[in-house]
């Protein structure tokens, strides 16, 4: 009787370990791994870029810059939109016109800069908002806004 108990116990441990490792049967419910080789991977869709970190800078010549940085968890390259608001919105969208931006696009997490134009904007106090675009969607704007005064 003791011999049967020891044999049963010695078989139960490996079987339990196999069930724990492989599961109890049925289909694989992991949303990333395919159930079989003829089924495609399940995509979680596009993740939006993060809300950008924004800072305002000025060089020794008095030129003002908007500095920005966002993270894209998909690893997509990013383009930006800078919005200067003082009752009216002045939008500088890198997906449409890259002039004023320091590069044509940016790696996720890379700092970028936009040179605020000296001409074409009325003098005044502006709220500065920035959004990142990952090639598919726009992420949220920075909040609270940053501020800049233009002569």
Q: Is the pLDDT of residue 89 over 80?
A: yes
For 51-82, b/e burial (b = at least 16 CB within 10 A) is bbebeeeeeeeeebbbbbbbbbeeebebbbbb
Q: From CA 140, how far away is CA 51, in angstroms rounded? A: 5
75 vs 10, more confident: 75
Instruction: Please tell me the pTM assigned to this model.
Output: 0.69
Kindly state which CATH superfamily the domain 53-150 is placed in. Immunoglobulins (2.60.40.10)
Q: Is the pLDDT of residue 19 over 60?
A: no
């Amino acid at each position: 009787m003791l011999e049967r108990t020891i044999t049963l116990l010695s078989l139960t441990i490996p079987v339990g370990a196999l069930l724990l490792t492989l599961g109890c049967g049925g289909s694989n419910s992991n949303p990333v791994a395919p159930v079989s080789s003829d089924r495609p991977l399940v995509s979680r869709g596009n993740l939006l870029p993060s809300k950008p970190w924004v800072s305002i800078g000025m060089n020794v010549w008095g030129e003002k810059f908007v500095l920005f940085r966002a993270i894209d968890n998909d690893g997509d390259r990013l383009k930006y939109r800078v919005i200067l608001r003082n009752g009216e919105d002045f939008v500088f969208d890198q997906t449409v016109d890259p002039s004023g931006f320091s590069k044509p696009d940016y790696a996720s997490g890379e700092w970028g800069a936009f040179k605020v134009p000296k001409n074409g904007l009325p003098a005044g106090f502006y709220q500065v908002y920035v959004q990142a675009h990952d090639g598919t969607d726009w992420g949220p704007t920075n909040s609270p806004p940053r501020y800049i005064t233009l002569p």
